[in-house]
Amino acid sequence: MALDFSGRVAIVTGAGGGLGREHALALAARGAKVLVNDLGGAVDGSGGSVGAAQRVVDEIRAAGGEAIANGASVTDFEAVQAMVQQAVDAWGRLDILVNNAGILRDKTFAKMDIADFRLVLDVHLMGAVHCTKAAWPHMAGAKYGRVVMTTSSSGLYGNFGQSNYGAAKLALVGLMQTLALEGEKHGIRVNCLAPTATTRMTEHLFPAEMLAAFAPRSVVPAMLVLASEDAPTRTVLCAGAGTFEAAHITLTPGAFVGTGPDADSQLAARLSQVLDRAGEIVPGSGAAQGANEWRLAQGQR
């Protein structure tokens, strides 16, 4: 049985094509009412038209679903607030936010204009901040919310020529970590999706024989799980070609070296011990680091 989203209201940003389109179609096919947001610009963020979003809305309606279009830029907080209000005015609630909007401006760091670095952060990071900030009070008031951030292996593990994109995508993981903690008492669960998919942003990176396997629809099941009623929280779920993995930020047990005048040389000598991943943990919060350091400083092993 497919997951059921009947009665739920969702916003999917960057949903005029690629991953976002597949997300919006899947949610609608499972009963959700969907606001389809897309600026309608080029891969680098230039231009704009609501036509891309409207075409997806037309697809959803033709299949018997319910959807409305929105052409706001996620970089414009006032426009994003109006977008959220549009969904609430239409359907009386907001349950799901899928932060999917993004652009690329790839170059090596040495050759990258600082404006291109900043714009990619504005779209990916601040765009998700704007949308989540606007949605948060509606979700908190209802004691229910599911927020999906779109991260990337480029942020988790790095990728040549994508310092701006990687920085933005890992920042979304940090945003998720804290919002999941803050949202718990309000029934809001926040997760990250790291897709591998052939979209117009990435299709040129894939050999021809891989294009079909990594079609955007292969990522959709992970989004649906993260947006569902039984979703986890503080999870980074990776997806591509029908395979699903989880990524974790871990903490090794470490070693107590002290703060004496030779602490640097001692650390250098014991660095392999500090880096040893045996016994590593996934901390429940940032406080775990300090707690571990204090425990070792007190002579507890």
- Who contacts 204 (Cβ-Cβ below 8 Å, separation ≥6)? none
- Cβ distance 237 to 193 under 8 Å? yes
165 is catalytic: yes
User: Could you give the CA distance from residue 268 to residue 260 in angstroms, rounded to a whole number?
Assistant: 14
Main-chain phi, psi angles of 16, to 5 degrees? -80, -10
Residue indicated by tokens 């204090």: 294
Mark 42-58 as b/e (b = at least 16 C-beta within 10 Å): eeebeeeebebbbbbbe
- Strand blocks (E) in 22-156: 33-37, 67-70, 96-99, 145-150
Main-chain phi, psi angles of 238, to 5 degrees? -100, 145
User: Could you give the CA distance from residue 110 to residue 226 in angstroms, rounded to a whole number?
Assistant: 37
User: Could you give the CA distance from residue 210 to residue 123 in angstroms, rounded to a whole number?
Assistant: 28
188: part of which helix (H) or strand (E)?
A: strand 188-195
Catalytic residue among 5, 136, 165, 214: 165
Cα angle vertex 104, ends 99, 108, to 5°?
Answer: 135
- Who contacts 122 (Cβ-Cβ below 8 Å, separation ≥6)? 75
- Who contacts 58 (Cβ-Cβ below 8 Å, separation ≥6)? none
- Cβ distance 281 to 250 under 8 Å? yes
| Token pair recorded at residue 153 | 């292996």
Q: Catalytic residue numbers?
A: 165
